[in-house]
Amino acid sequence: MGTRGREIVGKSVKKVLKLLGKAYADEWLAYYQYWLGAKLAKGPMKEAVMAELLQHAADELRHADLVSNRIIQLGGTPATSPKDWYELTNCGYDAPVDPNVMKLLEQNIKGEQCAISVYNAMMKETRDDDPVTYNLALQIMTDEVEHEEDLQALQEDIELMVARKK
C-alpha cells in the first residue's frame, strides 16, 4: 500500500501484522479441515453437512485471501511455508479422523468459536489506529458468526432426526 496508508497505522503496524499472520494460518488450516471433512463425512444428513462444509471451506479460503492482501499492504509477508501454519495458528487443526457428521460438526463448531474470538480480539486491537484492518476483521467475523450458527443448526436438526427414529 501507499506510504500514507501505512503511516496512519503508525507504531501498531508490527502488532497488527503479527495478529494478521496468525489469523492467516488459522484460515488455511480451517479451509483444509472443512475441505477434507466434506469428502469424508458419513452419517445422517450427510449431503446437507457436506454441502455446508464445502461452502465454509470456500469462505475460509476467501478469508485467507483477504488477510494475505492486508498483510502485503502493510508491508509484511504471509507465511511462506505451510509448515509455519502450525507455529502461528491460534485455533489449531482438528484432523477429521472420525468421519461421523456429528463429530465433524463438533470439531468445526469449536474452530468457529475460536475464530470468532480471534477476530473479536483483532477488532479490539485495531479499533483506534487501523480502521482498514478493523473493517476486515469485522467482515470476516460476520462470516464466522454465520458459520457457527449454520453448524449448530445442522447439529440440532440431526439430533431431532435421530431422536425421532428412536
Rounded Cα gap, residues 81 and 61, in angstroms: 16
Closer to Mg ion by Cβ: residue 122 or 154: 154
For the bound state, the minimum distance from the C-beta of residue 147 to Mg ion, rounded and expressed in Å, comes to 6
Q: Which residue in 52, 147, 155, 158 binds Fe ion (CB under 5 A)? A: 147
Amino acid at 111: G
In the list Fe ion, Mg ion, none, the entry touching 150 (Cβ below 5 to 8 angstroms by class) is Mg ion
Of 29-37, 51-59, 78-86, 91-99, the segment contacting Mg ion by CB under 5 A is 51-59
Residues 6+ apart with CB under 8 A from 72: 78
Smaller CB separation from Fe ion, 7 or 65: 65
60 binds Fe ion (CB under 5 A): yes
Which residue from 149, 146, 128 is spatially nearest to 60, judged by alpha carbons?
146
CB of 141 to Fe ion, least distance (A): 9
**112 interacts with Mg ion by CB under 5 A:** no
**Interaction of residue 144 with Fe ion, rule CB under 5 A:** yes
* Identity of residue 133: T
Let me know if 71 is exposed, middle or buried by CB neighbors in 10 A (0-12, 13-18, 19+). buried
